[in-house]
Amino acid sequence: MKTSRIALTVACAAMVASCGGAAPTGGGGPTPSPTPAPTSATCSLSARQDWTLAQLTEWYLFPELMASGVNKAAYTNLQDYIDAVVAPARAAARDRYFTYITSIAEENAFFESGETAGFGFRLGYDTGARRVFVIEAFEGTAALGQNIDRGSELVAIGTSEASLQTVNSLMAAGGPSSVIQALGPDTPGTTRVFRVRDISGAERIVTMAKADYTLDPVSNRYGFSIITDGARQVGYLNLRTFIDTADPDLRASYLALRDAGVTELVIDLRYNGGGLISIAELMGDLMGRNTDGQVFDYITFRASKASENSSYNFNAQPQSIAPTRIAFITTGGTASASEMIINSMQPYLPNTAMALIGDNTFGKPVGQIALDRAACDDRLRVIALRVENANHNGDYYTGLASTVPNTCRAQDDIQFQLGDRRENMLSVALDFVAGRACTPFGVGAASVGRGMLQPQRPSAAQQNLPGSF
């Protein structure tokens, strides 16, 4: 993509089925006015509301879907005011909590190095059964240090062993939001006691404190492998999120594929809420050995900002391969940059050579720019652009099942580790790659009552790493 002076993002923060996204580095943001010295007047709620409205008025992708005459005095925090201004776009399903205010420092730490704070696991829930499970655990974290990993169940949560509340009772009282509240604030040092049921069925009491950790975008435990499936060699890649530090991991993975002559892939994006457009484009480059110079994506702004429109052409790298068949593992948590990758590869693979495995994606063909007010540590993520492929397809608001020619239904099988060929989604993906039959799915609703835990106001990490705590 032509490097714009806008910091582009493809991110979202839905309230239940959630997805994230990100901003490419390069270019920064719109050329700012000199930053005034921080004062209470500069960063008063009223001043922040005025600045935010001015940015939305100038940049918002759907100006016709902005509410007029919103009384700023009726709102006691900036995000509620933003929600009111963009409410018509929300009602039209064009901005499903994609426009939000966040911290410059917090977001930069995550995108540049993967730094965040938490217990270090990703949680999924089942409202019908009133249960919460660990669906992924991250390396170098409190959770994995206590042998809490994929398939573990959180049975009870408290601030002490005496105050433990069962997840069943929490879910009965207030659904997933009660569990989120019980987990406490995402600040280092927040300590909770858990009753954990291991995948073996044994229960134990564990005390953990939230701490800073650095996320590995491609797990060194299960993020990449070459799987032998009969006479086939199939590359498996699980990308957690599109952040800067994914660059070396992706290059190493694709180099291994190239060296082994592997061209059939399973790309696991089941929990990937998005990330940096620059990393999505790099991933395209690494699959662009035979499409060098052809269009990977178009970035399109509103008519008044058409001078910002750009395109990106495949730029084959020394590690690049020419994939012949790709099975993308997806769920409702697959969004933004993840969807961009899938959509952008469609024009370059035969209809029979590409499929979604699992469930329909979130449906977010729009992206944000980052507008900063450094004096207040405010970064406004505002929907300002459409992301399209070489065929100018970019309206998959109902998810990519509406455009991808093949789909295969599969359940997320947490009794097996990610990357284990016995796991149902990976097993079905291998079936597709081999030409074996599967059961398709459509655009309709997926697993009602199941999803990843996500706060209404997620952190910068949770925007892009849904379900993480």
Residues 283 and 413 in one domain: yes
- What percentage of the chain reaches a pLDDT higher than 90? 82
Token pair for 109: 């730490």
> Where is average pLDDT lowest: 7-16, 303-312, 335-344?
7-16
Residue 177 belongs to what domain range?
118-214
Edge-first strand order for the sheet with 407-409 is 224-229, 232-238, 264-268, 325-330, 354-358, 407-409
Quote the pLDDT of residue 40.
Answer: 66
Residues 30 and 125 in one domain: no
Task: Please check whether residue 122 is in contact with residue 137, taking contact to mean a CB–CB distance below 8 angstroms.
Answer: yes
Q: Are 159 and 190 in contact (CB under 8 A)?
A: no
Q: Which residues pair with 135 in a beta bridge?
A: none
The CATH code of the domain that includes 314 is: 3.90.226.10
Is the confidence at residue 20, as pLDDT, over 70?
Answer: no
Of residues 451 and 2, the one with the higher pLDDT is 451
279 and 149 share one domain? no
CB 262 within 8 A of CB 235: yes
Say which residues have a Cβ less than 8 Å from residue 281's Cβ, sequence separation at least 6: 1, 24, 296, 297, 312
**Residue listed under structure tokens 């776009």:** 89
pLDDT in tens, 274-323: 989 999 999 999 999 999 999 999 999 999 999 999 999 999 999 999 99
214, 240, 259 - which closes a domain: 214
Question: pLDDT-derived band of residue 458, with 50, 70 and 90 as boundaries?
Answer: confident
**Model confidence band, residue 380 (pLDDT cutoffs 50, 70, 90):** very high
Nearest to 236 by CA among 270, 210, 206: 270
Torsion, CA 437, CA 256, CA 137, CA 25, rounded to 10: -110
- 84-88, 247-251, 379-383, 442-446: segment of lowest average pLDDT: 442-446
Burial class (CB in 10 A: 0-12, 13-18, 19+), 230: exposed
Q: Are 191 and 207 in contact (CB under 8 A)?
A: yes
Does residue 398 register a pLDDT over 60? Answer: yes
Let me know whether 291 and 423 are in one domain.
Answer: yes
pLDDT tens by residue, 282-292:
999 999 999 99
- Using CA atoms, how far apart are residues 463 and 20, in angstroms rounded to an integer? 4
Quick check: is 380 in a domain?
A: no
> Is residue 343 a part of any domain in this protein?
yes
Q: What is the pLDDT of residue 39?
A: 52
396 and 255 share one domain:
yes
448, 116 in Cβ contact below 8 A? no
Which single residue is written with the structure tokens 């601030």?
159
Work out the percent of the chain whose per-residue pLDDT is above 70.
90
Per-residue model confidence (pLDDT) at position 449: 67
State the pLDDT confidence band at 99, using cuts at 50, 70 and 90.
very high
Same domain? 100 vs 134: no
Domain check: are 82 and 127 in the same one? Answer: no
pLDDT at 86: 98
| Structure tokens given for 348 | 């370059």
DSSP 191-225: EEEEEEE-TTS-EEEEEEE-EEEE--SS-TTTSEE
- pLDDT (0 to 100) of residue 15: 22
User: Is residue 86 within 8 Å of 92, Cβ to Cβ?
Assistant: no
Q: Are 280 and 244 members of one domain?
A: yes
Which pLDDT does position 189 carry in this prediction?
96
Q: What is the residue whose two structure tokens read 């309709």? A: 444
Tokens of 106: 């917090």
Q: Which of 172, 193, 214 is the last residue of a domain?
A: 214
Calculate mean pLDDT across residues 97-102: 92
pLDDT at 416: 98
Q: Please answer whether residues 135 and 412 qualify as being in contact, where contact means their C-beta atoms are separated by less than 8 angstroms.
A: yes
Looking at the predicted structure, is the pLDDT value of residue 236 above 60? yes
In a domain, 395, yes or no: yes
pLDDT computed for residue 214 by the predictor: 94
Least confident of 55-59, 231-235, 323-327, 445-449: 445-449
Task: Please tell me the predicted confidence (pLDDT) of residue 19.
Answer: 32
Residue 355 backbone phi and psi in degrees, to 5: -155, 155
| Residue 410 DSSP one-character state | -
Q: Chain-wide mean pLDDT for the chain?
A: 90
Provide the β-strand partners of residue 275. 10, 242
How many domains are contained in the chain?
Answer: 3
Tell whether 451 is covered by a domain.
Answer: no
Q: Is 52 part of any domain? A: yes
Average pLDDT over residues 69-97: 96
Position 465 in a domain:
no
Task: Give yes or no: residues 69 and 18 share one domain.
Answer: yes
- The pLDDT of residue 447 is 57
Instruction: Tell me if 127 is assigned to some domain.
Output: yes
CA angle at residue 439 from 433 to 442, to 5 degrees?
A: 105
What angle (nearest 5°) sits at the alpha carbon of residue 17, between those of residues 15 and 18?
A: 70
Q: Write down the pTM of the prediction.
A: 0.89
DSSP 4: P
Distance separating alpha carbons of residues 172 and 27, to the nearest angstrom: 48
**Do residues 105 and 172 both lie within one domain?**
no
- Do 40 and 92 lie in one domain? The reply is yes
Distance CA 354, CA 325 (A): 6
Which pLDDT band holds residue 445 (cuts at 50, 70, 90)? low
Residue 164 lies in a domain: yes
Kindly report, residue by residue over 192-204, the tens digit of the pLDDT: 999 999 999 999 9
The verdict on 193 and 260 lying in the same domain is: no
pLDDT above 70: residue 2:
no
What is the structure's pLDDT at 186? 86
Q: What's the rounded Cα separation, in Å, for the pair 333 and 18?
A: 6
Domain boundary pick from 83, 113, 143: 113
In the structure, what pLDDT confidence band is assigned to residue 461 with cuts at 50, 70 and 90? Answer: confident
The whole-number average pLDDT for the span 2-30 is 33
